[in-house]
Structure 1
Amino acid sequence: MRSFVRNLGGSLGLAVTGTIVNNVLSSHLREVNLGEEQRKEILTHPASSRALDSAVYAQVLEGYRKGFRLVFIILAGLAVFSFITAFFLMPHRDLNRPDDEKLKEEGKEFIARLEQKKDATPRKKESEQSSVDLTEKQPPPPVTVNDNLHEFTPIHEYDVNSFLPLPSKPLRTNLVALDPLIPILHADALFRAFSAPPVGPDPDAIFYPFPSGTPHKEKSETLIYLEKQRRRPNILMFAITDLKSGEFAGMISLGCEPLAVTHDVKLMTAKILPKYRATHVGAHTAFLLMSYALNPKAEGGLGVVRLGWRTTLTNTRSQEAALKLGFTREGIMRCYEVASDIGDDAPYEDFTPTPDGTGRKTEDGVVYSMTVFDWLADGKRERVKAIVDSPKGTSKL
């Protein structure tokens, strides 16, 4: 309400000021015998006065001077009147109040009541405080077909909802383009990929969305998967386009720890379509995201100090790709992934049930990293760029 009154007062003040200035200007122009039509033109379009001869233009300026002088006098008078009125209406015009001691006593009594209330609140024993049940925290509500899955949300209205900023310029090589993954642009192609059966005897569980690891049957499954990913603000998803064919070639994401967003990010959810595996797509995609993450901000990058790469123990193809790109193997991180929604029939080789009866399953991961020292000081940026630019084998990983 206060803001409304202030805005209303400001608007009325501008209106009154404009009216006063225009009336004074009109009166002045009438005094110097300026024609009615010319006066109306000047009042309606003040900028037109610049085209008048110098004598008339000088009279216009004089009229404005008189108008603003009158406005200043009125405002100054109002300010003095307001100050005097406020001064005489103030109940206390010095630094001492007759009820100071009373107010101090009331404040002390209020603090004493708060302390009594705090002491009366039952406290948990130290042993109870140290045995907090971490499983009490409820997971976020699941995404369903009844939610807004943004299937038809226009590009300019779609919120990627990520702590990580979008690139300030397109991520492109001569063969691959990375763009923000937006359902209205990419969901159809992604559903076609996720609904296609595996190529060969390998169930390709890592390619199909977690936790089922199997092909999608309905487009809504793909939309729900994308919305789940979008609701994780530590992830920024990209669509991969093969510029040789113009086709959708897969998706990949950058992920971060929210409290370390400027220091440490990782490559994740890399899902390259089978026909584009062992082609130029993998190397070019990795180079683009490595450059975006590790390049200095002055060069359009995020300026992070560490880019991570994690894969399963059995995914030797991913491990070989990480080494070829210059990532350093840090070792095995035990129980890297923890999940409670994996069915017994899910085609994952690396998940193991925990022995605590909670129904959770864990997966170890092989961890790799590329630091800003590797990238900028040790020449690995140039090494990966050479792989991408290599004419032999179109830079396959």
Structure 2
Amino acid sequence: MVTVVNNYAPPTKDVKTTEELLNPPEGVHDMNFVLPVKELDSGKVRLVPFIPTVHMPLLMTRSAAHPELFKYVGYGPLTDLVSSLHIYDRLIASDPSSTWFAVFDLTRPDKEDASLPGAFAGVTGLLAASAAQSQAEIGYVLYLPEFQRTHVGTHATGLLMHYLLDSPSLGGLGLRRAQWKANALNTRSVEAAKRLGFRDEGVSRWHIVLPEGKEGLDRPDEGDGARGKGRHTAMLSVCWDDWKEGVREKVDALMSRN
């Protein structure tokens, strides 16, 4: 006779101390990402691997007056440096399938810090990356208001698409699939992806239970066992055949015009 039990416990993640977050051991920040990471530069926009002690203060202080920026992202607003670093550690540093880039607009200097390569515009990132499945998702996109509806988004996403889908001989990773997922209510995000050649694959309904304060759908009743609003997720992708059959040229044309 076999007795059945269920001793499941949620996996624990190493939580860094405040001192470790503020002062990485020996001044080294480990990207801890499953795919190679490097700077990407179009001549107008540069993506720099996100160093939390360097770039989080920029993101936190410059987004402080714009809490609406966090309506559709799964974290924030960012209220203080220590809690912001803990958010990064929990979402990104402890997850090898995710990474962030700091985004700089090279067409103008930064108004507050002349040592930066250009004006700090926000962040973008990769998540759900898998070398074994040859795919990654572009996400965690957040641009400060003055950089929205400019060349920044086109160039930043175009750079990531090139890096993910170009062959290694062209400097890319040669992946088979680049994915884009968005809250179905966030029509600006969905349309931005389609403009760059991402194909609509449909909507995954009630895909995510959202944190408190995020834009989403009210639960139909109180009996579903989960708290928080829900999210229908628009699913889009560019695959390697799409890339070779015209999307690459489309992205290049958009980047050259912006």
**Could you say which TM-score interval applies, normalised by the shorter chain?**
0.7 to 0.9
Query: 1:183 matched to which residue of 2?
Result: 52
One-letter amino acid of the counterpart of residue 359, structure 1: R
User: 1:194 Cα deviation (Å)?
Assistant: 3.3
Change (3 A) 1:333 1:319: same
Query: 1:359 matched to which residue of 2?
Result: 227
Query: 1:247 matched to which residue of 2?
Result: 119
Change (3 A) 1:155 1:319: farther
Distance in 1, Cα, partners of 2:33 & 2:205: 28
Query: 2:83 matched to which residue of 1?
Result: 221
One-letter amino acid of the counterpart of residue 247, structure 1: A
Distance in 2, Cα, partners of 1:209 & 1:221: 15
Query: 1:348 matched to which residue of 2?
Result: 215
Query: 1:123 matched to which residue of 2?
Result: 2
Query: 1:158 matched to which residue of 2?
Result: 29
Distance in 2, Cα, partners of 1:204 & 1:290: 23
Candidates 296, 317, 331, aligned match of 2:188: 317
Indicate yes or no: 2:9 matched with 1:137.
yes
Q: Identity of counterpart residues, as a percentage?
A: 31
User: 1:275 Cα deviation (Å)?
Assistant: 1.1
Structure 1: gaps of 5 or more residues:
1-121
Candidates 144, 151, 159, aligned match of 1:273: 144
Query: 1:286 matched to which residue of 2?
Result: 157
Answer yes or no: is the 8 Å Cα contact 1:164–1:236 preserved in 2: no
Structure 2: gaps of 5 or more residues:
109-117
Secondary structure at 1:379 match in 2: helix
User: 1:141 Cα deviation (Å)?
Assistant: 4.6
Distance in 1, Cα, partners of 2:241 & 2:133: 16
Change (3 A) 1:207 1:242: farther
User: 1:186 Cα deviation (Å)?
Assistant: 1.0
Answer yes or no: is the 8 Å Cα contact 1:375–1:381 preserved in 2: yes
Answer yes or no: is the 8 Å Cα contact 2:217–2:229 preserved in 1: no
Indicate yes or no: 2:28 matched with 1:148.
no
Indicate yes or no: 2:112 matched with 1:233.
no
| Aligned residue pairs, count | 247
Secondary structure at 1:193 match in 2: helix
Secondary structure at 1:185 match in 2: helix
Higher relative contact order (CA 8 A, sep 6+): 2
| Structure possessing the higher radius of gyration over alpha carbons | 1
Distance in 2, Cα, partners of 1:237 & 1:351: 30
Secondary structure at 1:363 match in 2: strand
Distance in 1, Cα, partners of 2:28 & 2:243: 36
Query: 1:109 matched to which residue of 2?
Result: none
Change (3 A) 1:185 1:257: closer
User: 1:305 Cα deviation (Å)?
Assistant: 0.6
Answer yes or no: is the 8 Å Cα contact 1:313–1:365 preserved in 2: yes
Query: 2:115 matched to which residue of 1?
Result: none
Answer yes or no: is the 8 Å Cα contact 1:252–1:269 preserved in 2: yes
Query: 1:206 matched to which residue of 2?
Result: 71
User: 1:291 Cα deviation (Å)?
Assistant: 0.3
Change (3 A) 1:274 1:142: farther
Q: Which has the higher helix share?
A: 1
Distance in 2, Cα, partners of 1:292 & 1:171: 8
Secondary structure at 2:231 match in 1: strand
Distance in 2, Cα, partners of 1:257 & 1:174: 26
Q: Which has the higher strand share?
A: 2
One-letter amino acid of the counterpart of residue 367, structure 1: M
